[in-house]
Every structure is written in C-alpha cells, then in structure tokens.
A and B are shown apart, each in its own frame.
Chain A
C-alpha cells in the first residue's frame, strides 16, 4: 500500500511565524471562490501549469482569494491566451472584477487580435459590471460594492518556426521569462517617483476612465514564460533566494500539485494571494 508523504510547508528562506500559525481557515461567504485553483494542459508546442493560492492574510481575515486566471487555446489560429488578474484588496468585491476580466479578456483578444482594443472593451464591460454590483444578490451582505483588478495577459502565437508573444499589463501583475541565464521581467517599467518616498502598494487598475495597458511584443526562444500576480512577482523581483529557488524548481514543468505547493511557498511577510501560470515551450 502506498503511503502519502507529509506535504509540510514549502519554504524559501525565513518562513516567518504566520505561515505555520495559519492553516486552513473558515471559508469566506462567497461560494464561487475556492481557496485554491489549479489547471494543467498541453498544447502543440507547450506545457502549461497554473495555480492560484489563497493568501495567508485573506485566510486570516476570512476574505476570499482575489486572484483569478484563465487559459484558453484557439485551435484555428494556434494561439494560447493566458490572463492573470489580481483583485485590489481595498475593495470588498474585487474578486468579482478579477473573475470577470479573466473570463472576458481571452474572448476580447481573440476577437480583436489587439490588446489595446481588447482591454478597452473589457474595461468598458467591467465598468458596467461594477455599476451593477449593488443590485446582484449574494449569500451575505458586503461592506461595500467596490471592485478593481490588475491585469497581465499574454497571447502566444505558435507557427512552424516561431513563438510570438503579445503581452499586455495594467498594474503590478507581471510576466517573466526563465531561461538558462535566469529570470527576465517582460513587464519591467522604469522606476519613477521620489526615491525618498516610502514603498507603497498602490497600483493602476481596471475599471479606469481610460484603460491604458502597456503592450509589448516578444519572440520567445527556448525557456518558460510565467504570468504572475504580485504575490509571486514581488518576491521574484526583490529576493535572490526566491529567484534561485523558483528557477531550480521550474526548470522543467512539475506536476500540477507540486507546482501549486511551490506557488504557495512560505516566506516572511509575504502573505498575499499567489497566482502563477507557467508555459514551458517545447
């Protein structure tokens, strides 16, 4: 008879005290919001693993996971579309905004084949969803009906000889490429503002009066591409330990359950939701 090994915590560096102190908690009053969400698929030219993990702070505060993702493959055009959204935590219904954008952005991209047009349309539709929020019925009363989300989206077009990525982002949801040389941010924006000002978590988000996503095109060589919320992107950007650990773990596609445990790694003060969608190019 096979035995299950103790899953334990996956830790990078100092785990802090919160990860060990907060395990599974009471569910939030949103039946459509699973604590964790996983997906894996294979398409011609790539393997995909996706995991979204409810953060320790949301578990502690009995709030839902506000990250969402979607993975779509269009057979007719050999295009893989990945969308990752991070609901803005200061609003009670941001998981609804994140879920709507993750749901609608692939359709809009495949219709327009242009991220500017796609994000503009999704932004308009999200504004309608937000305006209607007070009128929808829910299991429990909510403190406010505000909602907003960041977005990072990638469309990879596979041809016989090339993999072309079109990338769009709004806010601090990010896209990374991992190859033998290490990690490269594909959504790096030049630092701005006053260097003496404190660090801050403020971000651009949708819906906005005018959605202005950043867009980049990139030919992908051998390696793996990751679309992440800031729960992964921030420690990946700031900590060498995290870059080294994830580069080692994700050099090849792990099984999806291992991938999910790795996405939920413990590290002191990093208590936010975590989402990563990885695309390993064949």
Chain B
C-alpha cells in the first residue's frame, strides 16, 4: 500500500484565514470610524 501524503486542501485554510482577517480588520475599522465621529 502506498503511503499518501496529507490531503490537498490548502484553499480552505486560505479562505478561513482571509475571512478572519477581513472580519477582525473590518470591525477594527468600524470602531475607528466611530471614534472619529465622537472625538
């Protein structure tokens, strides 16, 4: 039986990391915009 490497699913990893970055940065931006309005 041949040894197979790990499954090729890097695109999911990329998608998840992109989503996290977008959400975190997006929320940070939202907060920053709100502070502009307040100060």
Decide if A and B are genuine partners: no
Binding site for B on A (CB under 8 A): none
Binding site for A on B (CB under 8 A): none
